[in-house]
Amino acid sequence: MILTRLLLKLFAGAEFNARNWSNAALREIAPHFSGAVLNVSGGSDQDKEGRNYRDYFKVAEEYAVSNYGTLCGLEGEFALDLEAAELPGELRGRFDIVFSHTVLEHVYDLPRALDNLTFISRDVVVSIVPFLQSYHHGAWYDDYWRFTPTAMIRLLADRGLRTVYLDWNDDALGNLYILHVAARHPERHAKIAALQKKLPYGPGLARSKLIYGAAGLEQAAISLKKD
């Protein structure tokens, strides 16, 4: 089984590599985001495929990276502790889009981290989190949480944001990542909602039905007609 997984990941492409899959999915939606973007705990901003996430957000007017602990010396980088009891007031709504890639599973105080992400965001929170992944631990981080699609919907809804895009890779042999986009103003992101895949989510339910509440893509179509 281990040999089969290794061979699939080596020869079968992005669909059998959760990072490659999430990168490809993010590249599809990121060009639709303008304004100021923050990559939270983004390290050196590398996507592990030879690119920088900064390049994904092609029309962003501003791009910054935050890190906890050691800084990488990037332009626009600053220190940020997602478990801080109180963030500086100047960070309230500082960025239009707050993006985190495989960060939340490493933050023990998850409710506070989500509160801080939504505190910083003026509108959108883009999260990539592990749905199913083996436990991993390093010298500078711990591993605490795994997520389900409906958990992401409710965690952000509890903080006033509605889901506009939701997807995950289908890999029976490897790790599964969730890409979740939530917004305070979902009506502004109908073009992203219209990219939503209509793949099954359990028996008889399409993933597209989980966006914009129960209205799904119908609400996105209505919003697009108003443009």
Contact 118, 97 (CB under 8 A): no
Contact 219, 193 (CB under 8 A): yes
Query: pLDDT value at position 171?
Result: 77
Backbone φ, ψ for residue 192 (5° rounding): -70, -45
- What average pLDDT is seen over the chain? 87
Domain segments of the chain as ranges: 2-185
Contacts of 145 (CB under 8 A, 6+ apart): 104, 105, 107, 110, 129
Query: pLDDT value at position 119?
Result: 98
How far apart, in whole angstroms, are the C-alpha atoms of residue 17 and residue 175? 7
Does the structure show a pLDDT above 60 at 147?
Answer: yes
Backbone φ, ψ for residue 169 (5° rounding): -80, 150
Query: pLDDT value at position 17?
Result: 87
Q: For domain 2-185, which architecture applies?
A: 3-Layer(aba) Sandwich (3.40)
How far apart, in whole angstroms, are the C-alpha atoms of residue 141 and residue 137? 6
Does the structure show a pLDDT above 90 at 4?
Answer: no
Does the structure show a pLDDT above 70 at 150?
Answer: yes
Query: pLDDT value at position 5?
Result: 54
- In three-state secondary structure terms, 144 is coil
Q: Token digits for 93? A: 């709504």
Does the structure show a pLDDT above 70 at 10?
Answer: no
Contacts of 162 (CB under 8 A, 6+ apart): 156, 182, 183, 184, 186, 212, 213
